[in-house]
């Protein structure tokens, strides 16, 4: 695929990709964050921002700080928008529990946020970076929509927005809409129509990126980080089975998987827009799949993943963090 080759060529031209992780942890968010932290030689993490989504803002922000504390990574973090642009927030408590990250028991975070204005934080980080910045968007797109609306000049410094959200053939929060887009479709519409390059890891691919129960067990007992992830997946798998899945779909990790191993994925470029008005289609991501589309493509929609290789890679990331932790203790 031409677009994937382009990304890989860019990676060869420079040692690292600068990224900001915008998230709402969230079980799969936590795993995606760990994947990024396992590859700091490839990803220069400028910061982490949070947005209300899987749970209320205070809870997901605390979860993000707990994950950073677990691996002793004092990455600057900023709290963002607590609610969508227009309508009240709908959380994902049915999948992620009362804390937003139920299952593992972690101590209180030892780090704090450096700002409660994620939009300003992102703007300053991107503006101050010599190279372009990729935004890894793992939650509702409220923070990012506001960034592009308040600071439109920053678009030229954004390499791409690689997001988990949507689904051109299926929804999960409703029959038409995926959760992240459903929470704030107005924000999503602004982002998809911003002119910034978009890579969309939606349900079309993330539902294929499924870890099975026997693979989940391979993580257990390998170290503190591995045990944390297996505990995450123990709880997450319960919701997955309630929703009719055999295994647990690793939604947000597909974003990091694409940024680190794009050859594991295949996709097509479409013009994607977001429905904000329909009673039963609100939050739907609509791709123009006609032979002669009305508008120019604005999104690379990921559609296929090499499932086994992807799951192996996720596990390798976790094992790598545990190995680094052991190495630090022996120094």
| Active site residue ranges | 251
Please tell me the total number of residues recorded for the chain in this structure: 331
**Could you give the CA distance from residue 159 to residue 211 in angstroms, rounded to a whole number?**
30
Under a CB-based contact definition with an 8 Å cutoff, are residues 140 and 184 in contact? Answer: yes
Query: HEC string of 286-323?
Result: EECCCCCCCCCCCEEEEEEECHHHHHHHHHHHHHHHHH
Q: Let me know: does 302 contact 269? Beta carbons within 8 Å.
A: no
Q: Residue 48 corresponds to which tokens in the numbers above?
A: 């982490």
Q: What is the DSSP letter of 156?
A: G
Q: Is 54 helix (H, G, I), strand (E, B) or coil?
A: coil
**Rounded (10°) angle between helices 224-242 and 27-37:** 150
C-alpha Rg value of the chain to the nearest Å: 18
Q: Which residues contact 200 (CB under 8 A, 6 or more apart)?
A: 163, 165, 166, 272, 285, 299, 300, 301, 302
CA separation for the pair 119, 89 (Å, rounded): 19
Which of 43, 213, 264, 66 lies closest to 135 in space, CA to CA? Answer: 43
Tell me how far apart the alpha carbons of residues 317 and 311 are, in angstroms, rounded to a whole number: 10
């Amino acid at each position: 695929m031409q677009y994937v080759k382009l990304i890989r060529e860019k990676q060869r031209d420079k040692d690292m990709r600068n990224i900001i992780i915008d998230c709402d942890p969230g079980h799969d968010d936590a795993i995606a964050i760990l994947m990024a932290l396992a590859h700091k030689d490839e990803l220069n993490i400028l910061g982490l921002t949070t947005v209300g989504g899987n749970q209320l803002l205070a809870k997901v922000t605390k979860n993000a700080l707990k994950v950073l504390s677990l691996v002793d990574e004092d990455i600057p973090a900023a709290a963002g928008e607590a609610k969508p642009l227009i309508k009240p927030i709908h959380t994902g408590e049915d999948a992620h529990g009362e804390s937003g990250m139920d299952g593992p028991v972690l101590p209180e975070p030892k780090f704090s946020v450096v700002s409660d204005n994620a939009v300003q934080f992102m703007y300053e980080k991107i503006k101050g970076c010599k190279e372009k910045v990729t935004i890894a968007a793992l939650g509702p797109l409220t923070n990012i929509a506001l960034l592009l609306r308040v600071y439109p000049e920053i678009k030229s410094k954004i390499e791409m927005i690689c997001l988990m959200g949507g689904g051109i053939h299926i929804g999960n929060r409703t029959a038409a809409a995926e959760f992240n887009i459903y929470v704030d479709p107005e924000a999503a519409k602004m982002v998809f129509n911003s002119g910034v390059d978009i890579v969309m890891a939606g349900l079309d691919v993330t539902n294929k990126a499924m870890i099975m129960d026997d693979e989940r067990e391979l993580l257990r007992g390998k170290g503190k980080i591995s045990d944390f992830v297996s505990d995450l997946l123990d709880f997450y798998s319960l919701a997955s089975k309630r929703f009719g899945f055999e295994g647990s779909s690793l939604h947000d990790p597909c974003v990091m998987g694409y940024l680190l191993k794009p050859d594991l994925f295949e996709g097509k470029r479409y013009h994607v827009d977001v429905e904000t008005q329909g009673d039963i289609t609100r939050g739907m991501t609509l791709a123009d799949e006609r032979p002669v589309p009305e508008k120019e493509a604005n999104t690379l929609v990921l559609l296929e993943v090499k499932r086994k290789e992807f799951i192996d890679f996720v596990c390798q990331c976790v094992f790598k963090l545990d190995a680094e932790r052991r190495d630090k203790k022996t120094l």
